[in-house]
């Protein structure tokens, strides 16, 4: 009987979409001809404490304020979702964001890299979770599995500024907190590279409400519960962002051009340089040898963390257990400390990360798909009758 119950649970979990990537794109170059992507082609640092910056487009309905702490992303009601998006793309690179995330049950702060064909790399924080941050990735918008998300210990991200980073090359993605690696995804581990993020990406920063009154049950459970707007405003403080565009190893990049019939591989992207020429050789070049950072070398010294893969048991229980995951947290010796301070276990981040990293089905972006408890109950009832 127990095996029948497990089998029924497996069926309903496989049928239910527990996670969703950011599911919109203005033009998917794998489906039709699209305009070339404007390349950043350099390294840029934006200090939001000095005000707005023309590198970013402000989403409709977004009203930001700026002070000495940076850009303030404020939520007063459940329809608020302040968001900014870079108007230039990077083709592999490194992004560092200094942020004090928004508090509040059901409030989500997010830092996302996303491409035209819905490759995606994420950092996300729940306002009611004071013990950890989440990472996730998607390839080609594929949400057919839910083993990509992971949690990483960090102390009071709502009360302290931390630096969260993504280093992204054609070989791997590395996530870091205060320059210490907490996770690595290798190309081959993302379905043999077919779901590895590898096409030019924009950078998106924002906050949104997962604990909405009309949100799906699974989304609300993941977010920790409904949002109490009597506690508003909920404010995230983005202090700064540094963006390095590796341009797939090509200097003076101005545009990224998708070849006709692109399959969404990095080899199908041409780098257009300042003189208007196209360097097809860029598609097979190393994405960055000269620009590779300490995170890359750290990951290659056998201290790399495991890629986000969970068992069915983890996937089954974690969709409704974000709150309990928070309480399990980690000891002080494993927890990241604010930007500019020393960890209590300095130098142990990479080696301890596998023990503290838990693969969980997380959600990403403003459009979420919840899981149907009614469907689960019906399936379990059917199993009992077998």
> Which residues are marked as active site?
120, 124
Cβ atoms 282, 293 nearer than 8 A: no
Pairing assessment for the beta strands 83-86 and 56-58 based on DSSP bridges: antiparallel
Task: Give the Cα-Cα-Cα angle 34, 35, 40 (nearest 5 degrees).
Answer: 130
Block residue for tokens 């920790």: 224
Task: Give the Cα-Cα-Cα angle 178, 182, 186 (nearest 5 degrees).
Answer: 125
Task: Name the nearest CA neighbour of 318 among 154, 149, 157.
Answer: 149
> What distances in angstroms separate CA 91 from CA 204, 245, 262, 276, one per listed residue?
15, 6, 15, 17
Cβ atoms 73, 238 nearer than 8 A: yes
CA 179 to chain centre: 17
Whole-number Å distance between alpha carbons of 184 and 8: 33
Strands (E), 156-259: 162-168, 172-177, 180-186, 201-209, 234-245, 253-258
Q: Is the dihedral of CA 299, 304, 309, 315 positive or negative?
A: negative
Q: Is the dihedral of CA 90, 91, 93, 99 positive or negative?
A: positive
Q: Which residues pair with 238 in a beta bridge?
A: 71, 99
Q: Which residues pair with 137 in a beta bridge?
A: 121
**SS3 of residue 111 by DSSP:** strand
> What distances in angstroms separate CA 40 from CA 86, 242, 271, 318, one per listed residue?
9, 12, 12, 38
């Amino acid at each position: 009987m127990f095996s029948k119950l497990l089998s029924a649970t497996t069926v309903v979990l496989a049928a239910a979409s527990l996670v969703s990537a950011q599911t919109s794109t203005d033009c998917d170059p794998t489906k039709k001809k699209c305009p070339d992507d404007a390349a950043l082609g350099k390294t840029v640092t934006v200090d939001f404490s000095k005000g707005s910056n023309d590198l970013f487009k402000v989403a409709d309905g977004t009203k930001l304020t700026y002070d000495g702490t940076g850009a303030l992303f404020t939520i007063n009601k459940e329809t608020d979702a302040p968001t900014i998006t870079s108007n230039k793309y990077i083709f592999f690179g490194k992004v560092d964001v200094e942020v004090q995330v928004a508090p509040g049950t059901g409030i989500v702060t997010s830092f996302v890299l996303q491409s035209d064909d819905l490759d995606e790399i994420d950092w996300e924080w729940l306002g009611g979770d004071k013990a950890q941050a989440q990472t996730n990735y998607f390839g080609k918008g594929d949400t057919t599995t839910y083993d990509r998300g992971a949690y990483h210990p960090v102390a009071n991200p709502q009360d302290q500024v931390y630096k969260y980073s993504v280093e992204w090359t054609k070989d791997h993605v590395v996530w870091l907190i205060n320059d210490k690696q907490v996770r690595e995804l290798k190309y081959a581990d993302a379905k043999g590279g077919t779901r590895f993020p590898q096409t030019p990406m924009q950078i998106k920063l924002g906050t949104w409400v997962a604990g909405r009154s009309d949100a799906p049950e699974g989304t609300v459970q993941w977010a920790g519960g409904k949002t109490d707007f009597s506690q508003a405003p909920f404010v995230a403080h983005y202090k700064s962002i540094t963006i390095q565009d590796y341009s797939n190893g090509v200097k003076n990049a101005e545009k990224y051009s998708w070849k006709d019939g692109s399959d969404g591989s990095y080899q199908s992207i041409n780098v257009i340089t300042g003189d208007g020429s196209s360097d097809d050789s860029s598609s097979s070049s190393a994405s960055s040898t000269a620009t590779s950072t300490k995170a890359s070398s750290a990951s290659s010294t056998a201290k790399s963390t495991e890629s986000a893969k969970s068992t069915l048991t983890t996937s089954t229980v974690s969709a409704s257990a974000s709150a309990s995951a928070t309480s399990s947290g980690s000891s002080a010796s494993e927890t990241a400390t604010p930007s500019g301070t020393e960890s209590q276990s300095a130098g142990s981040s990479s080696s301890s990360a596998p023990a503290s990293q838990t693969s969980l089905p997380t959600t990403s972006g403003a459009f979420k798909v919840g899981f149907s408890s009614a469907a689960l109950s019906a399936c379990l009832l059917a199993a009992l009758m077998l």
